[in-house]
Every structure is written in C-alpha cells, then in structure tokens.
Homo-oligomer: A and B are copies of this chain.
C-alpha cells in the first residue's frame, strides 16, 4: 500500500510548509491547493468560491447525517454547496491517495482516508511563535498588531475546528485522532523536516 501522511495544523504553526518540505524530502506527492483546483474543474465553481465555502462551517444546527431528510430553507445554499464540495473533495482525495506515496495537508484527509491507515500528524505551536510566523509571512503593506494577528489566528482555527467536526464527527486537534502531535515552537522547520523524514523513512 502507498505511504500516506496527513497533516492537520494550527494556523501559523508552519504545518503547511512542513508538509510541503517533507513531501520534497520523501519524494512523495503533496496535495493541498491542488485539491481545490481539481474540485473547481469538476464542479465549475471558482477556486475562490470553493475556498470560501470550505472555510465556513455549514450554517445549520442538526447533524449532517439527518440534514438531507429536512426541507432546507431556499437561501441555505452555502450548506448545500458545502456538502457537495465535500463529497467531490472526498472523491478526489481517495483517487489521489491511490496513486503514489503522498502527503495531504488539511481537508479532513486523515478522516477520509482512515481505512488506508495514513500516518496522521497534528502540527501545533504556542501563540507567540504563531504570531511571529504570521508576521514574517505578512506582506510589506500589512500592518497588523499582535492582537489583530492573534484574533485572526483564533478565528481561522475556530473555523477549521467547526468544519472538521461537522464532516467527521471528531474533535479537531484531539490527540486521540492523531499518531503524532508535533510542536514547532522551538525548532526550525528545515530541521524538523529532516527529523520527520528520518522518522517516516
């Protein structure tokens, strides 16, 4: 069976960069934005629209398993789109996972691919180093205070948690759902990539 690694990550923890570097070092395929592009091709929805829908939890109070039995309000298109996009995404992830060794960042891939037993990593860091990382990556025009950056980080993570728990019925970031949780606060990502690659080889 292919070697499959899934990476879930707190915003600002460097999990995406770690995944990308790791794929490079392991000679594995790296899937992240590629999934959005593929969904866009299949659904004819714009990448931006898909991204927006995926970053929001479906606005509905009852669980996904029974949602289809109800007659939805006509304006709840976001909810319907989210379900459809998730289904397309699921299909694409399963197809990609069958092709070669690969690394998925986010997108509930740990849950979608659970029958293939991926190695599931959760990447996290303390708030100070996440703020620092966000600041380093910000464009020259961006002038956010630490408080604003922190607010953004918390907002994005809240959305990720909601999206994940809605589609998986699991708690995002709960260590029970991962094989390894890795704290990037005290390490260089390059160094951690080398260490992780050795672990996974």
Contact = CB atoms under 8 A, between A and B. Distances in A.
Interface of A: 117, 124, 126, 175-176, 178-183, 186-187, 195-196, 198-201
Contacts of A200: 195
A201 B191 CA distance: 12
Q: Which of the listed residues A124, A126, A180, A201 has the most CB atoms from chain B within 10 Å of its own CB?
A: A180
Q: How many copies does the complex hold?
A: 2
B195 A186 contact: no
A199 B119 CA distance: 15
A25 B200 CA distance: 17
Contacts of A201: 198
The 9 closest A-B pairs by CB, nearest first: A198-B198, A199-B199, A181-B181, A195-B199, A179-B183, A175-B181, A180-B182, A198-B199, A126-B176
